[in-house]
Chain A
Amino acid sequence: MRAGSAQYHRTTGTDPGIPSESLRSLTGGSVLRVPVSAHQQGLSSTWQVWELRRHAGKQLSLASFLMLLRYRQISRSKGSWVASMKASLFIPCLTDQFFPHVGISLWKILRKAGAEVDYPMEQTCCGQPAFNSGYHMEAIELARRFLNVFRNSEYIVSPSGSCTSMVKMFYPEILDGADVHELLHDVTARTYEFSDFLVNVMGVKDLGARFPYRVTYHDACHLLRELKVKEAPRDLMRHVQGLELVEMEQSESCCGFGGTFSVKFPDISTAMVEDKAAAIAKTGAEYVVANDSSCLMQIGGYLSRRGAAVKPLHLADLLAQSL
């Protein structure tokens, strides 16, 4: 390390490495998205792709950088290649029971974008309700189940940032040291929230949708801070004909849902959505859009109780309006 302090630094540390964000910016944000079909072009298994992604996230070696550039070209040059993408719908239990139209919309969108869509009927719940309440044993069982249900899927696409981050961010935490290491990384690497998938994997921003209304967008916490997806939904909305996007104040602050938090601490949860509703009202928007049915349930539930005119709308529903 630095001279003079060697004695008190036991090991020789390194200077701050290149943060993964800068890697993203180097290649226009899509550097870490390696299409699975790229295996045929050189990488033999998804496992290796995952490894590549993992290393790329940490430090940028010239070799991995060049490889990534190569895949980027492949995905760009072969228009027909995109059409052969297979996406499995991962429909969270809340969506299944309360907002099935969001799932249908997602199916329409993905098909329109040129993906082959299926829905593994065996799926139930990703386990997040148990995990967030501290019941890790229960969550682990459901996580294992999820991995098996989706093990043969090429891509796993969900209309929820929250459930996607359960799979991508929290499965590795709870299954750490378990016997499913390879399957875990294989499946989690192929799981995407749908706006992220459309924009950053399929490279599709314009779905030909029309929606002549003023809308404002709420950044769902998990999508934003776990998955770091902020621009993709906005990109998609910018390509919708007639849509006017008005940003609300503090679009990044939580709506107050937080799973069981919303019923364990109803006073605080309501105080939070109260402020969110005020920020929405200020924009004069006719619709408040988000990528998570749970946030929309919270915001919408409060708005409707207050008799507010602004309506909650899932981005998938918005994009599928004219399909």
Chain B
Amino acid sequence: MNLTPRLFKSYASRNVNNPRLRKTFRFATHHALEKRLQLVQEVPEWEALRDRAHQIKEEVIDHLDFYLEGLETHVTANGGKVFWARDGKEASDYIVKVARRIRAKTVVKSKSMTTEEIGLSRTLEENQLEPVETDLGEFIIQLAHEWPSHITAPALHKSRGEVGELFAEKLGIPYTDVPEELCEAARKLLRSKFLKAELGISGVNFALADTGTVVIVENEGNARLSTTMPRVHIAVMGLEKVIPSFNDLPVFLRLLARSSTGQKQTSYVSLISASRQPGELDGPEEFHLVILDNGRTEILKDPRMREALFCIRCGACLNTCPIYQRVGGHAYGSVYSGPIGAVITPLLQGVEVAKDLPYGSSLCGSCSGICPVKIDIHHMLLWLRQQVVAGRHTPWQERLAMKLFLAGMSDSALYRLGSGALRLAVRLGGAQGRPLKVPGWTQTRDFPPLAERSFKTLWKELEKTEAGRAHP
């Protein structure tokens, strides 16, 4: 599989017919949803929290310049360095430059979708650095040279047997599928990397404009190690990750952990405000914050799409999506999968590249219903479809069909004529009362027969008999 959303249709079709993969995703997503539901029910103010989070995000995204500058001011005042990256290349180049300056060889990374988005590990490798993913899921997919199949659980697609085989092959350990043993093997290897690494790279869950603090949530402790052990820490954030204040943080922390992993709180919440201060014993000597645009300001320009920047990457919409549950994350051909991926990917990469993604939804709306920050995901998919059509990326046959459809529906006489002609054709073809054949439908489902008489016809007859009754 290649990392391109162009192939969504064929990937999806392949994955949906893979029973093992379907079982894996079904189990994992349902499990996550159950845990989430249980915890959400314990919070009577859940809906108010969602509304509040939406409000805060709206305020931030509408005044991003203000909050980002606040963030920069405070990070700088704390002794950190802020780098504004227009795109992935600028961000990667900056990180490589820092790594070269400090003569780093080993780079430990904690889980970060933003660095996945810009393919940072590949760039580091190309520059003779050794990037090591330290989140267990990310570690697995790094060994397998794959990309994440879920925003919060990157190796969701792998069974423990597959992980066992992978570890046996790549790490040279005897095969086992016992999770504890696999975990132990990864831990052993990662410990040595933590001790060796000169540079630590992390993502950012939230960046607080009023204190210059970056907040990282995780469950394995690897992010804390990655950000404290090496001499230099670089945090990479999409520019939408800023929130106004420390006081807003609890709203998001409560929403995020429950929505993503079904926890009240993740095992670790790190708040990093600066590098090591005089008199302190530990912490990195340097702290850098890379603030990445990479197409986000383009999204900002479109008021209808702006909400895409509200996303806190919890993955709940993936879990609840009936499409994602059946095709898995890799089908989307992008590091961002599921409903929010179907919104973000076309916005970041262009609708022409990802034109099938917005159509890969039954518009059931369960994504919007679960989103902790109330992003109207499925309505945005509809507007993206409009962009696909406006860009003339749909087949000409479909455009023609729509013109005919409009003509037929714009005039009720024409509509009735068409409806009569259709019935005549069916009768002449000897298919009366028999299920119609519809390509794409009839392979797996019966299509109903055309009614002998349409409602319009029935209604006219009804009116006659009713009138007859009224005036005998």
Residues of A within 8 A of B (CB): 2, 4-5, 7-11, 13, 15-17, 19, 21, 91, 93, 95-101, 103-104, 107, 119, 121-125, 127, 129-136, 138, 141-142, 145, 170, 173, 221-222, 225-226, 252-254, 256-273, 297-298, 300-302, 304-305
Q: Sort A-B residue pairs by CB-CB distance and give the 3 closest, nearest first.
A: A258-B362, A134-B385, A263-B440
Q: How far is the CA of A141 from the CA of B379 in the complex (A)?
A: 20
The smallest beta-carbon distance between B379 and chain A, in angstroms, is 7
Q: List 14 A-B contacts (CB under 8 A).
A: A4-B245, A17-B51, A100-B455, A107-B462, A122-B412, A124-B408, A132-B385, A145-B409, A225-B364, A253-B366, A265-B9, A265-B359, A266-B441, A300-B448
| Majority SS at the chain A contact face | helix
Which chain B residue shows the least CB distance to A253?
Answer: B322
Indicate if the CB atoms of A104 and B402 lie closer than 8 Å. Answer: no
Q: Closest CB of chain A to B351's CB: distance in Å?
A: 10
The reply to whether B388 and A259 contact each other, CB–CB distance below 8 Å, is no
Q: Decide if B419 touches A134 in the complex (CB within 8 Å).
A: no
Contact B455 A104 (CB under 8 A): yes
For B58, give the chain A residue with the smallest CB separation: A13
B246 within 8 A of A: yes
Q: Is the CB of A305 within 8 A of B444?
A: yes
CB distance from B251 to the nearest CB of A (A): 10
Given contacts A134-B388, A258-B364, A301-B446, contact A13 B55 (CB under 8 A): yes
Which chain A residue lies CB-closest to B243? A8
A270 touches B445 (CB 8 A): yes
Distance of A99 Cα from B454 Cα, bound (Å) = 8
- B84 within 8 A of partner (CB): no
Residues of A within 8 A of B369 (CB): 225
Q: In the assembly, what is the distance between CA of A15 and CA of B251, in Å? A: 12
Kindly identify which residue among A129, A221, A265, A305 contacts B364, using a CB–CB cutoff of 8 Å: A221
Using A225-B369, A263-B441, A301-B447 as known contacts, say yes or no to A254 and B386 having CB atoms under 8 A apart: no
Q: Contact at A97–B368, with CB atoms within 8 Å?
A: no
CA distance in complex: A122, B415 (Å)? 10
Q: Contacts A8-B67, A268-B16, A268-B323 given; indicate if A132 touches B366 (C-beta within 8 A).
A: no
When chains A and B are docked, how far (Å) is the Cα of A173 from the Cα of B422? Answer: 33
Are A103 and B455 interface neighbours, CB within 8 A? yes
Is B101 part of the binding interface, using a Cβ–Cβ cutoff of 8 Å?
Answer: no
Known contacts A121-B412, A130-B406, A134-B385; is-contact A96 B440 (Cβ 8 Å): no
Q: Across the interface, do B402 and A5 meet the contact criterion of CB distance under 8 Å?
A: no
The residue from B245, B443, B444 contacting A9, defined by CB atoms under 8 A apart: B245
> Could you tell me the distance in whole angstroms from the C-beta of B10 to the nearest C-beta in chain A?
10
Q: Are B455 and A91 in contact, with the CB atoms below 8 A?
A: yes
Bound Cα distance A98, B448 (Å): 7
Question: Hey, which chain B residues are within 8 Å of A302, CB to CB?
Answer: 444-446
B210 within 8 A of A: yes
Query: Considering only CB atoms, which chain A residue lies closest to B8 in the complex?
Result: A265
A150 to chain B, nearest CB (A): 13
Chain B residues, CB < 8 A from A134: 358, 382, 384-390, 394
* B78 CB-CB contact with A under 8 Å: no
Choose among B48, B363, B441 the residue that contacts A132 (Cβ–Cβ < 8 A): B363
